[in-house]
Amino acid sequence: MDISKNFILEETISDLINVNLSLTGPLIKLNYFGKLIKNSDLIEFTNKEINGYESIDKIPKYRKSSQRLFANVQSYMNNQNVEVPISMLEEPFNKGLRDLIIFDGIQTIEKMAKEMLEGDGKNEIFRPIPMEMLSIIQKVVNQILVDNRKVLIQSAHTVSNAHIFLEIQSSIRVKLLDFVMEIGEKFGHNIEISSFKENIESNNQIINNIMNTTITSTGDGNVLNTGNDNNINMSNSIIKNDLESLKKQLKNHGIEENDVIELGEIVSEENLDENNNLGENSRQWILKILDKSLQGIGKISTAVSAQLLSTMIKTYYGIGQ
């Protein structure tokens, strides 16, 4: 079938569910879909994820990770590595150094993740601080080090968790899968482009609304619209660190007993990262449940989405309450 006349969502969904495949393929397909329907928001988002972001762009939260600042300090004959509180730096340096921001395109991110996994086990990213910034850091070092002798910074660097390269991929995969499945619910999984263009403005507004709820929005953590006008007050239904309340909500949405037990084991062993993102095992569990839902396995509710499952798990951890 001529793809210029129809866009088959199933192909993109299959690419997203297979975690061994690169995200470049589904991103390019959705970029092409955006061009077919002349949706500038979808084109812009996929372009940036493929090619990378600029410093002037609004960077998605999943591309940021907190980092720590260390200074190599010399005092008379002694050298020591000192952690410097970033919050004590003057503006705008305190904000500029607070987070590591990944601007690179998805292929570079996937390459960095692979190198990290195949490397020597080091899971940290070290970035040197420019020499011209050392005088700013020196002021803070003088405050935190009690030393009668002169203290001088020789160099400084930031340290952050290299797992961000894995987390970015998982976040994009889950968000895109949620986005594509929502589109499928609204327009069907085999979209006829000519029919779509008959009401192109209103249909593109629907696409943009779906993007806003599945890709660019993280939700408010308490009341979540699941796509079929069902609102769930997470703070009332799921209690922090109460596994039974989480299991009950999962079962209410048709999640099978063995899958509920599996998630219970995951959340008991796995914590959120420093940015309150789900761990790798939790994200893989969500992908598995969405795959089952897509294939019609079991009695999973049509309201189940990546955003809903993510919010449930985060509410269990106490985020958003």
pLDDT for 225 equals: 35
On the question of pLDDT at 68 being above 70, the answer is yes
156-177 pLDDT, tens digit per residue, is 999 998 889 988 999 999 999 9
Mean confidence (pLDDT) of the chain: 84
198-240 pLDDT, tens digit per residue, is 999 999 999 999 998 888 764 433 333 333 333 344 445 788 8
Task: Name the percent of the chain in helix, strand, coil, to the closest 5.
Answer: 55, 15, 30
Structure tokens at 150: 């002169």
Q: What is the pTM of this model?
A: 0.68
pLDDT for 1 equals: 39
Which has more pLDDT, 310 or 156? 156
172-208 pLDDT, tens digit per residue, is 999 999 999 999 989 998 999 999 999 999 999 999 9
SS3 6: strand
3-state SS, one letter per residue, for 148-177: CCCEEEEEEEEEEECCHHHHHHHHHHHHHH
In the chain, where are the structural domains located?
1-217, 219-321
276-297 pLDDT, tens digit per residue, is 788 888 888 988 888 777 677 7
pLDDT for 321 equals: 54
DSSP strands (E only) in 85-208: 99-101, 124-128, 151-161, 190-192
Q: Are 252 and 37 in contact (CB under 8 A)?
A: no
**Residue 165 C-beta-side C-alpha neighbours within 13 Å:** 19
19-63 pLDDT, tens digit per residue, is 889 999 999 999 999 999 999 999 999 999 999 999 889 999 999
pLDDT for 254 equals: 86
pLDDT for 35 equals: 95
Question: Dihedral sign, CA of 68, 279, 17, 115?
Answer: positive
Q: Residue 232: name the closest of 317, 284, 307 by CA.
A: 307
pLDDT for 320 equals: 65
Distant-in-sequence, close-in-space partners of 3: CB < 8 Å, separation ≥ 6: 32
Q: Are 61 and 218 in contact (CB under 8 A)?
A: yes
CA–CA separation, 53 and 51 (whole Å): 7
Structure tokens at 297: 């396995």
CA–CA separation, 236 and 267 (whole Å): 20
